[in-house]
Structure 1
């Protein structure tokens, strides 16, 4: 038992600041993912009213939830580049976390659809300050020999927070109102918003106390931060970081197809909401379990084998979801899709980090995080539009994207790990 505990601890033996940042992102992830469940319930309640601008309530929910993803992804290249120009990471993370804390609290006072739209839009912009700066900081605190492991640990804790929030958010709303000392009460909605605010403040304090910018980040600020599309070396057609961004977009789109077709999935499989929740969570479970070990493995065996293997595994694991007629098999397919995602995400960030020069991490790595965010937003919209043509059509579409992404990484990505390791000198004076 003691040896097992040592091995578990060793899995998270990374830079102290990376671990602190991972815990901070886990905390704000809990609060932010709370809102995925709470906002639709809040909109459907009697608390919210006002003009809907001709949109049905379901469409208002979709706009509010999607707006966050689109604005978050759209602003990431700008905040990432600004972070590189200034040579600072910590202030950008704190700006984003401060924005999250304020906007989470603002929901308590929001009583109109328009107010919710504005608040959620501001949250998207706030997170756009956090993501590129956080990933860049992890990249700069790591070396080529442990970059994958650091990325894996960071993503593991972030996903734990993201997965834990929805699991308890509905319960907190349902069990309200809550009695406070002095005879006052708060609704379940307000309790959820206060908890989300507390998690953001906790993250802010952790970053303030435990995180500092590496000196070399400021020293190398202001480098060439352009993101080329074409490969400037002439050995490939596309730039490798651009290629990874496109592959991340395709992967995220394929993964997110499942999110908005719950009625169709439940009807086809003759199952209830519990089974759908388990199937939806299967992807996150695989990510949490595998991000760290795969990240460490790619430090030893290389980035490219995992990225290529994950993209090719994504093809069948996406396609079968359109033809499965069993709840258990759908759970398995989603689990394997999660394995594919884990094989791609941390090694891709590590490979992009290997290629990023000093002071370029925010710009270069934001290409991947932006693309993934857009894919998460595009996927649900695509499945909603395509499922009317047949249950299997969205998954065939996602499979085509996954196949194209697999071809791109196989033909356009080269290994970076060996190139970054020092070559031992034999003999000599």
Structure 2
């Protein structure tokens, strides 16, 4: 038992600032994912009204939820570049967390559909300040020898927060109203918004007290921040960071196809909402369990084998979802798809971090985070458009994206670790 405990501690043995940032992102992830469940319920309640501009309630919910992702992803390159220009990460993270806390409280006073759209849009911009600066900070606190492990730890805690928020959100709303000392009554919705605001405030406090910017970041502020499309070395057609961004976009879109077709999935598999929830969560569970060990492994064995292998595994695990006929097989397919995602995400960030020069982390790594965010937004739109042609078509589309992404990373990505241990199995070996 003690040996197991020591092994677990060793898995998370990273710079204390990385661990503090990981905990901070876990806290704000809980609050932010709360809203994924609460906002649709809030829109459907009697609390919100006003002009709908001719739109159905379901469409309003879709706009509110998707606006966050599109604005978040769109602003990330700008905020990442600004943090590089100023040579500071911590102020950008604090601005974003402060914006999140304030807008979470603002929901309590929102009584119209338009106000919800504005607030959620502001939250998307707020998170755009947090993500590139956080990833850049993790990158700069790590070295080539441990960058994958640091990225894995950071992503593990962030996903724990994001995955646990929705579990508690429905219960907080349904158990309301709450009577506080002094006879004050708080509705279930208000309680949920307060919880989201408190988690953002806790995250703000953790960053304020425990995080400092590395001196090297300040010293290298204002470096060349251009993003190349063509490979400047001439060895390949595309720049490797741009290639990783395209692969991240395709991977995220393939993963997110499942999210918006719950009625069709349940009808095909003759299952209820519980099974769908388990299938949806299977991907996140695989990510949480595997991000850190895979991150550690890519520090030892190299980034490229895991990226190529993960993209290749994404092909069959996406395709099979369009043809399964039982709930159990769908669960296993989603779990395997989560394994594929874990093999790609942390090693990709580590490889991009290896390639980013001093003072460029915000700009370079924001390419990947922006692309992933756009993929998460595009996937549900694609599945909604294609599901009418047949259940398998969204997943065939995702499979094509995964196949193209696999070809790109296999042909355009080179290993960044000069010394690495040989893998016990061959995955996409260097040419």
Aligned to 2:37: 37
Give the deviation of 1:326 after TM superposition: 0.4
Aligned to 1:238: 238
Q: How does 1:308-347 map to 2 (within 5 A)?
A: 308-347=308-347
CA contact (8 A) 2:310 2:341 kept: yes
Give the deviation of 1:367 after TM superposition: 0.1
Aligned to 1:273: 273
In the aligned structure 2, how far is the partner of 1:218 from the partner of 1:184?
A: 48
CA contact (8 A) 1:354 1:420 kept: no
In the aligned structure 2, how far is the partner of 1:234 from the partner of 1:226?
A: 17
Aligned to 1:372: 372
CA contact (8 A) 1:76 1:366 kept: yes
Give the deviation of 1:232 after TM superposition: 1.0
SS at match of 2:406: helix
Q: How does 1:102-181 map to 2 (within 5 A)?
A: 102-181=102-181
SS at match of 1:88: coil
Say yes or no: does 1:93 pair with 2:93.
yes
Say yes or no: does 1:24 pair with 2:9.
no
In the aligned structure 2, how far is the partner of 1:62 from the partner of 1:268?
A: 24
Aligned to 1:71: 71
Aligned to 1:202: 202
In the aligned structure 1, how far is the partner of 2:420 from the partner of 2:221?
A: 22
RMSD of aligned residue pairs (Cα, Å): 0.9
CA contact (8 A) 2:271 2:327 kept: yes
Aligned to 1:262: 262
Report how many residues are paired.
Answer: 421
CA contact (8 A) 1:142 1:150 kept: yes
Query: Where in structure 2 are there 5+ consecutive unaligned residues?
Result: 422-431
TM-score, with normalisation over the residues of structure 2? 0.97
Give the deviation of 1:420 after TM superposition: 10
TM-score, with normalisation over the residues of structure 1? 0.98
Deviations 1:84-111 (A, max 9, x none): 0000000000000000000000000001
CA contact (8 A) 1:71 1:124 kept: yes
Aligned to 1:348: 348
CA contact (8 A) 2:151 2:349 kept: yes
Aligned to 1:396: 396
Give the deviation of 1:283 after TM superposition: 0.3
Give the deviation of 1:184 after TM superposition: 1.4
Aligned to 1:293: 293
Say yes or no: does 1:219 pair with 2:219.
yes
Deviations 1:165-190 (A, max 9, x none): 00110011011101100111111000
In the aligned structure 1, how far is the partner of 2:116 from the partner of 2:145?
A: 45
Aligned to 2:385: 385
CA contact (8 A) 1:144 1:420 kept: no
Deviations 1:374-404 (A, max 9, x none): 0000000110010000000000000000000
